[in-house]
Amino acid sequence: MFVTSNTDTLKCPITFELFRDPVTGQDGHTYERDAIITWLQKNGASPQTREPMTIDSLRPNHIVKQLVDEFKSSSLQKHFLFRFGIDIRKAGKRPIFQTQGKSIYRAEWISKPGPDVVLLKIEGAKANREAGYYVQLGSHPHIV
């Protein structure tokens, strides 16, 4: 099966997150089920075409679900340079910096010495998207 490297096609146009439960509306567009239901309850029309649309018109999009599952599976199979719990671990329980949705912890190398390193914990609605940017930066020698 085809696995796309451009994740924009696997994201809901309302939430901008990877689909978990994709549905297609009578407008022909695919949305995250919870997001489009909330949208339709407030607006009663397609967010893409502005034409009237009902919750009853929503149908599961099994193809998109399969593509998202395959994308996630292939992402897990990537061999990253360092792995949490194997190469590095948290050096303390308390973060050295914390703000809404982000915490930075001191970290230490487990089996081999290396440069100073920190762990960044990201939470919230856009965590996966933001984490994706950091993964793209993963070629940097001091970013794990």
Per-residue confidence (pLDDT) for residue 43, from 0 to 100: 97
Q: What is the mean pLDDT of residues 13-21?
A: 91
Q: What is the mean pLDDT of residues 85-93?
A: 86
* 18 confidence band (pLDDT: 50, 70, 90): confident
Per-residue confidence (pLDDT) for residue 70, from 0 to 100: 86
pTM of the model: 0.55
Per-residue confidence (pLDDT) for residue 101, from 0 to 100: 87
**Pairwise CA distance, residues 66 & 93, whole Å:** 38
Q: Which domains does the chain possess? A: 7-76 (3.30.40.10), 88-139 (no CATH)
pLDDT higher for 116 or 125? 116
SS (H, E, C) 120-136: EEECCCCHHHHHHHHHH
Per-residue confidence (pLDDT) for residue 22, from 0 to 100: 98
Q: How does the average pLDDT of the chain come out, rounded?
A: 84
Residue 31 pLDDT exceeds 80: yes
